[in-house]
């Protein structure tokens, strides 16, 4: 599913403005944001915890909860990157290039094995 076109930096700025308007910068240390990300990932996992391997794990009944929790993770990840001075789009590009080099298509296509094994 394609995403709605939007600049990641505008999302970063909007999340920062939201926090600033509420005077939450004082609470948004990288450590606190990281712990919040971990907590929200747990809440995201809760949505599908007992669904087993059946398809689809995301049903009409739990879709809104899934989307809300996924958005919470995204917002906090963007805040974490911003507050820790990481250009998330540049880090993404670098990391994806490293993964391309580590996992060449001809050696890893269709395989779940890790590099070096």
Going by C-alpha positions, the residue among 91, 86, 75, 88 that lies closest to residue 36 is: 75
| Domain identity same for 54 and 81 | yes
pLDDT score of 50: 85
What does the alpha-carbon distance between residue 10 and residue 88 come to, in Å, rounded to a whole number? 13
Note whether 35 and 9 are within 8 A (CB). Answer: no
User: Does pLDDT of 60 surpass 80?
Assistant: yes
Say whether both 66 and 20 belong to one domain: yes
Q: pLDDT at position 14, please?
A: 98
Residue 116 lies in a domain: yes
What CATH code is carried by the domain that includes residue 48? 1.10.287.1080
My answer on whether 108 and 95 are in the same domain is yes
| Tens-place pLDDT, residues 14-56 | 999 999 999 999 999 999 999 999 999 999 999 999 888 877 7
N-to-C CA span, the chain: 33
Whether this prediction's pTM lies above 0.85 is answered by yes
Q: In this structure, are residues 19 and 79 in contact, taking their beta carbons and an 8 Å threshold?
A: yes
- Residue 71 within any structural domain of the chain: yes
Residue 82 and residue 32 in one domain: yes
Same domain, 63 and 113: no
Domains identified in the chain, total number: 2
Q: Range of 109's domain?
A: 91-117
For residues 77-92, average pLDDT: 98
Quick one: 14 and 35 in the same domain?
Answer: yes
Please, which pLDDT band fits residue 1 given cuts at 50, 70 and 90? confident
């Amino acid at each position: 599913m394609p995403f709605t076109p939007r600049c990641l930096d505008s999302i970063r700025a909007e999340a920062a403005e939201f926090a600033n308007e509420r005077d939450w910068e004082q609470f948004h240390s990288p450590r606190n944001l990281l712990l919040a990300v971990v907590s929200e990932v747990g809440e995201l996992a809760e949505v599908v915890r007992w669904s087993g391997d059946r398809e689809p794990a995301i049903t009409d009944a739990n879709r809104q909860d899934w989307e809300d929790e996924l958005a919470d993770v995204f917002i906090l990840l963007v805040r974490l990157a911003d507050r820790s001075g990481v250009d998330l789009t540049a880090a993404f590009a670098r990391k994806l290039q490293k993964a391309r080099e580590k996992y060449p298509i001809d050696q890893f296509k269709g395989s779940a094995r890790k590099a070096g094994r």
